[in-house]
Structure 1
């Protein structure tokens, strides 16, 4: 019988994960215990088909799970996202008749953990160009040389998805492949010392000629924007699952705002702050803001699952979701801080950690400027020369 969300993430597991989050943050350490428990529960296999040993969940179900997990430990959920993105992309392609990444699902079903080695410092082309050099070798393999930043799951991945630019042919092309952890030719800098999302340990990965075997090279695309299903799959899974994490932060902030309003008592009136009109208005504002995010997240994930036809608006809708989810969560956490009193300003409180964690949403693609440009182009057309 298929697991329900409450069975996959029962309250006692979430309590343990929430109980460790502060320690991971304080010590700037990876969430090893969380990952072990989530793997044992089958969480990393949620998007893997049952035939490959997984739960066979949809992207919509996975997004709901990430909302729930992020409410307990945002950094854990954010890092797990990277594995879920790759299994999600493989599912999106498979559902559209493309089996080029089916081995990702098979290996994830056997317990392999996939990392996301795509982001590069200063590369505002994101998926459409790369500063990493992809060098073709005689046997069809490729060596990769460059630096990948924000590589979440750095201590734990066993397969790392990377891409680089090959300029050896008549036209440059972008080469996508997976490297194995045991392969020589890369190193991980332990440089993750950040304001928030500390347990994700998203260290810089230096590719120093590491070789991806021929069978691990799964895409070659022209440089620049293109309609390939891989690009859509990465963008869709990344934006939806990322939005789920920040939606979970926002939902938890509302819960804390409610609890703290009831807990705090006014010396002036002798009543809880839950009876104060100004506090009530801020809590209501936070709840209403979040109520607009839940259906957008749920609906867009379902649209990917069912291959809905949004035509040229697909990327605008996905970028818009990311901006709404991250900006709303940031606003809602601030509202929760405002109603919770000065104790939330001290290190070690859950709300203080959420306040720092939620700021990471500003840095994920698509950023606010890029997203608004994408949406404007979709509705108004490109700028004239």
Structure 2
């Protein structure tokens, strides 16, 4: 394992205060940096740790068991590193700046989501204005920008309508030090509070040609920048949510071994109904873990799933998020009324796991894509 048990214990010890105070976990970030975790996924030829996608998934799950919001925030950095790896592997030199930046100490954030835009990655309502030299200035509002207090580089995209070849999505890296944006102090949420995913208003933030990753037609495609973002987002997000479900089962298992039934004069760990609840939760987590592991392994090995890649990546993320939501629910039911207290870890895990309902791909998008797989597209009536 890359992250030591002692490090994870320290991160876990701070999780409640981070949540209670609605602040960014600066100490966690420092320790993770010092441990080399922000460069662990960078290939060895660039000086990084060279961990595989499957190995990062394992570490993300372990980190989320310690502190879900810390894991979800760091997750965004790892997604961008994954994108850099994918671009380079597909012969695109634009990805090198990500890998080299990570080795130089940069923290990468993810500026894709926009209010009310259910196209998400497949089309932006923000504006990319060309500077005439191959670069762009970006204008628009991005939401759920995790790591907002600390990022040094923001990967974002917007729509360029000026080209003779029609509208295109422009993906680029922005430098924090160059300005041209405002970060709003608007992260006051039910859970995942430590991510500090404040909204980011792009007000002409500029990326020169050297920082443009790719310009592609809107919509789903296997263009490296599109597939790279989608694939690593779904897999690492799923791996992160697995940690919440695993931790909920751990907490509940500890509780029922000491929680005693007055009626039966025995601990609840011996109650067949409680055993059924927690074993059922563990079974769901086992299946979801296998799904995420296989997706990660196939990404590492470059296997071709053809047209099923997108729906299966979405299915993996959803399986992990839904299994973890189920596990937290069963853990709370098994642990009794004490879990309803704000001071109980299960209460925080319940709030944190709900974020998985909103992050792409959501249930509606998932079922829509699988309906197309099973039934084909909806036929238009004459």
Both structures adopt the same fold (TM-score exceeding 0.5): yes
- Equivalent residues in 2 for 1:179-218 (5 A)? 179-218=174-213
Give 1:168 deviation, angstroms: 1.2
Preserved CA contact (<8 Å) 2:126 2:158: yes
Alignment length (residue pairs): 379
State the 1:96 CA deviation: 3.2
**C-alpha contact (below 8 Å) 1:320/1:371 kept by paired residues:** yes
Q: Using the alignment, how far apart are the partners of 1:90 and 1:338 within structure 2? A: 43
Pair 1:118-2:130 in alignment: no
Match for residue 283 of structure 2 among 265, 285, 288:
288
1:75 aligned to 2:69? yes
Correspondence 1:45-194 to 2 at 5 A: 45-170=39-164, 171-194=166-189
Instruction: Give the CA deviation at 1:93.
Output: 2.5
* Secondary structure of 2:201 counterpart: strand
CA distance in 1, matches of 2:153, 2:374: 39
- Which residue of structure 2 aligns with residue 219 of structure 1? 214
State the shift of 1:299 in Å. 0.7
2:362 matches 1:355:
no
**Residue 270 of structure 1 corresponds to which residue in structure 2?**
265
Give 1:264 deviation, angstroms. Answer: 0.6
Matched, 1:346 2:373: no
Deviation of the 1:139 alpha carbon: 2.7
**How big is the shift at 1:221?**
0.7
For structure 1, the 5+ residue unaligned runs are none
**2:139–2:205 CA contact under 8 A, matched in 1:** yes
Following TM superposition, by how much is the alpha carbon of 1:49 offset from its aligned partner in structure 2, in angstroms?
1.4
- Please, which runs of 5 or more residues in structure 2 have no aligned partner? none
**How big is the shift at 1:92?**
2.0
Scaled by the length of structure 2, what TM-score is found?
0.97
Q: Secondary structure at the match of 2:66?
A: coil
Q: Tell me if structure 1 keeps the 8 A contact 2:94–2:212.
A: no
CA–CA separation in structure 2 for the residues paired with 1:172 and 1:68: 42
Distance 2:349 2:102 in 1: 30
Aligned to 1:254: 249
Q: Output the aligned Cα RMSD.
A: 1.1
Equivalent position of 1:327 in the other structure: 322
Cα deviation 1:360-379 (Å, max 9, x = unaligned)? 00000000010111122123
